[in-house]
Amino acid sequence: MKIKLGTFNLFQFVEPPYSWYTKKERFSQEQWAEKTTWIKEQTIQMDCNIIGFQEVFSRDALETLVKELGFEYFETVDQAKLTKKTFTSTTVAIASKYPITKLQRVRVHIPSFEKHAFKGHYGLARVPIKATITLPNEQELVVYVSHLKSNRLNEFEYRFNETHTLEHKKKSVAKALKGTTATSLHQRLCEASSLFYNIKKVKEKPIVLLCDLNDKEFSLTIDALSNHKYHQEKSEEGFLLHDASYQYKEEILNPHPEQKEPIRKPTSYFLGKGHVLDYVFVSNHFDKANSDRMAEITNYKILDEHLHGNQNDLLFKSDHAQIVCEMTFI
């Protein structure tokens, strides 16, 4: 059996006559028709059984859209805040062609906020979804959907790579976390830690996390989300979650002798520079290094063609690429 899961940041999914954040930011009926038509076409191209959505303001409009495309089950766990006709917050959503048998909110892990000495409200920027889905083979799959705290435009950007150790990353970030130059990163680490501890409670079950992490590859946020040693230095346990992109390697037919490893595609661009912000993470049940795995990642696609066209057009599409992860059960 094969299933496909995807993550899709919709970019200001606000049905007119409503606006987002300010009264001036709204779609005309013609623009909304253009945007929803593109979203439908992109969703069809993704060809998924389960999709996690971010930047959902108009919940009912999205439910109608996905049900027209065969997603019988659709859920949110929060409501976008609306003042008069202007939305001031956003939510995440999940659509599934298989039954959602249990739905929960991921709640704040207070000890994580305290341990990080977070100054401010102990809350999650968008409440993550935790959904238990029954697959056609009767297997239960726990699917999380999240959208972590966004960076401020003037916030210092940390850039790490595969050679940087966890200790190096922690030391690099520690000074900034004590000041006011990395408040969004500070909250993101707390949010990722809240997800870590929630997922840890159900790690016996197969888990997939569909997310806009709002942080880059090799970031400390990924360690907070997945690495036991981030939370307990002397931990003997391995990683709680694995980046699904590393679980699949596309076969290259007739490779050039000097061809280098392909560079991971960005999922978003800012000021012309690409970043990987959107991810699919999986539990050990899907880790290729686990001899007892129940399924394998047999494809991992990034749909980014629209990001290389007219940049002024992205509001009527999305400013993020979409990710599709295929699993084949053994």
Question: pLDDT, tens digit, for every residue of 295-324?
Answer: 999 999 999 999 998 887 899 999 999 999
The CA–CA distances, whole Å, from 114 to 167, 189, 272 equal 20, 12, 37
User: For position 57, what pLDDT does the model report?
Assistant: 98
What superfamily would CATH give domain 2-329?
Answer: Endonuclease/exonuclease/phosphatase (3.60.10.10)
User: For position 157, what pLDDT does the model report?
Assistant: 72
List, for the chain, all residue ranges whose pLDDT scores fall below the cut of 50: none
CA distance 149 to 189: 9
Domain locations along the chain: 2-329
User: For position 179, what pLDDT does the model report?
Assistant: 75
Q: Can you read off the two tokens belonging to residue 228?
A: 């036991």
User: For position 156, what pLDDT does the model report?
Assistant: 64
CA 13, 222, 50, 79 torsion: positive or negative?
negative
CA distance 275 to 323: 14
CA distance 7 to 148: 14
